[in-house]
Structure 1
């Protein structure tokens, strides 16, 4: 979804959080002017031309000064994963997309023009009467992410740390995101990373105090929680989507990870207030 806020004669405040649900990741384009991004007592100043990547939270507001236009592009985790792909740039792009980031046009105006053009292309595609192309949307979101990566300086910094343990963990994290539904064995992850099983285990335990298997299971349980609360799928359908042999196997796994059955968890969280629910279900950005 893309929201356009034309410039106005006076200042305006727009809520970014949608109480009815929907994607919680957003890219904000500020072609010119001045704005303030606020959540609670945290305020971040934005001077256009600029682009902002943010994970939207309750009580998240965009305050636009008089004469300041803006566009807000909301996108799902699924669109993000497809836009990032599986290439060499996928790991740093995924890491960047999960941070709050503000980039300006100062480093390279041409790169920023490409980024702004992608917003316009997405808006036109979403307005097509015969429906938008998923492939087109992921391609344009990929342009936005890559140009933000370049404008932020993270591309250059990444070249200097490609072999660090932090970079290896980011690569592992991205592979988990791509393959946790396939229930890869840890040895397969290690092989794909060019590491031994013991080396991957050592890096995870020394850095995160958790085993690789525990991290993979945490991601799987996190996705299960999301689907139980945010989707209308039955428990059997959730189990199948997450790669479990059957609902019994899924229920056993879920009880071990959360201390509750899927049905009880869904009923408990659904009864809670929406703000409380969002506090209960962590973002994947909380994964170490």
Structure 2
């Protein structure tokens, strides 16, 4: 859903949180003017042109000063997952999407123009009589995320910090994206990174309070949840696609990680209303 707020003669305050539920993420485009983003007692001033990525929370408000227009794009974790994809840039984009981020056009006005164009393309697509294309929406959201990544300086910082703990963790996460279906042992990940098993364990626990194995298993369980909801594959086929020896092994793993069997989880999701399905999938932020 995309909401457009034209400039007005006086200040306005808009609630971002929907008490009836709905997408829990938002991208806010502020072409010009001044705004205030607040959650409870915490407020942040924003001067346009700017773009803001946030996880929407209760008591989340956007206050626009007089003469300040804005566009607010609400999107689900499902759309975000497809927009980020599985390429080389997926890991830093995933990391960025988990944070609250404000970027301005100051570093590169052309990048900001591309970002604004993506907002307009999404608005037009959502207004099509024949219905919006999921692939088109994910492509445009991907543009928004990449341009925010570049405007924020995170892309350049990533290139300059190849030897830091954060960069090593990012490389580990990227390798997990590529190989979690192959059930690599942690020692193999460590060897590919040029680290000892203990060094990789220390980086993960110190930075994320999680062991490398927990992170790999969380990623595998997250993918299993997505496939059970969206793929239409049988449980045996999901198990095979995720590299399990058989459905029994997969069911045991899934029950340990989620507290439910694959069949029960799928049936629970199926019974729920379609426009709230994304709320039942484990949060995208569950994979740190």
Using the TM superposition, give the Cα deviation of residue 199 of structure 1 relative to its aligned residue in structure 2, in angstroms. 5.4
Using the TM superposition, give the Cα deviation of residue 68 of structure 1 relative to its aligned residue in structure 2, in angstroms. 1.5
User: Aligned partners of 2:234, 2:22: CA distance in 1, in Å?
Assistant: 19
How big is each residue's C-alpha offset from its partner over 1:14-65, in whole Å with a ceiling of 9 and x where there is no partner?
Answer: 1112233332121100111211111111101111111101111121111112
Q: Does 1:195 align with 2:195?
A: yes
- CA RMSD across the alignment: 4.5
User: Aligned partners of 2:74, 2:241: CA distance in 1, in Å?
Assistant: 24
Cα 1:225/1:30, change in 2 over 3 Å: same
How big is each residue's C-alpha offset from its partner over 1:106-138, in whole Å with a ceiling of 9 and x where there is no partner?
Answer: 222222111111110111112222232333222
Cα 1:34/1:205, change in 2 over 3 Å: closer
Q: Which residue of 1 aligns with 2:12?
A: 12
User: 3-state DSSP class of the match of 2:264?
Assistant: helix
Runs of 4+ residues deviating >6 angstroms: 222-248, 258-282
Worse-matched range after superposition: 182-191 or 20-29: 182-191
Cα 1:271/1:126, change in 2 over 3 Å: closer
Using the TM superposition, give the Cα deviation of residue 263 of structure 1 relative to its aligned residue in structure 2, in angstroms. 10
Q: Which runs of 5+ in 2 are unaligned?
A: none
User: 3-state DSSP class of the match of 1:26?
Assistant: strand
Contact 2:3 2:72 (8 Å CA) reproduced: yes
Using the TM superposition, give the Cα deviation of residue 88 of structure 1 relative to its aligned residue in structure 2, in angstroms. 3.4
Cα 1:145/1:208, change in 2 over 3 Å: closer
Worse-matched range after superposition: 253-262 or 237-246: 237-246
How big is each residue's C-alpha offset from its partner over 1:163-185, in whole Å with a ceiling of 9 and x where there is no partner?
Answer: 32212212333554677677665
User: 3-state DSSP class of the match of 1:51?
Assistant: strand
Using the TM superposition, give the Cα deviation of residue 10 of structure 1 relative to its aligned residue in structure 2, in angstroms. 2.3
Q: Which residue of 2 aligns with 1:155?
A: 155
User: Aligned partners of 1:268, 1:134: CA distance in 2, in Å?
Assistant: 24
Cα 1:178/1:66, change in 2 over 3 Å: farther
Using the TM superposition, give the Cα deviation of residue 162 of structure 1 relative to its aligned residue in structure 2, in angstroms. 2.3
Contact 2:76 2:278 (8 Å CA) reproduced: no
Cα 1:193/1:24, change in 2 over 3 Å: farther
Worse-matched range after superposition: 227-236 or 137-146: 227-236
Cα 1:20/1:168, change in 2 over 3 Å: farther
Using the TM superposition, give the Cα deviation of residue 272 of structure 1 relative to its aligned residue in structure 2, in angstroms. 16
Worse-matched range after superposition: 218-227 or 18-27: 218-227
Q: How does 1:1-288 map to 2 (within 5 A)?
A: 1-174=1-174, 176=176, 185-186=185-186, 189=189, 200-205=200-205, 207-219=207-219, 252-253=252-253, 256-257=256-257, 283-285=283-285, 287-288=287-288
Q: Which runs of 5+ in 1 are unaligned?
A: none
Worse-matched range after superposition: 137-146 or 47-56: 137-146
Contact 1:79 1:138 (8 Å CA) reproduced: yes
Using the TM superposition, give the Cα deviation of residue 90 of structure 1 relative to its aligned residue in structure 2, in angstroms. 2.7
User: Aligned partners of 2:80, 2:275: CA distance in 1, in Å?
Assistant: 24
Using the TM superposition, give the Cα deviation of residue 161 of structure 1 relative to its aligned residue in structure 2, in angstroms. 0.9
Cα 1:15/1:274, change in 2 over 3 Å: farther
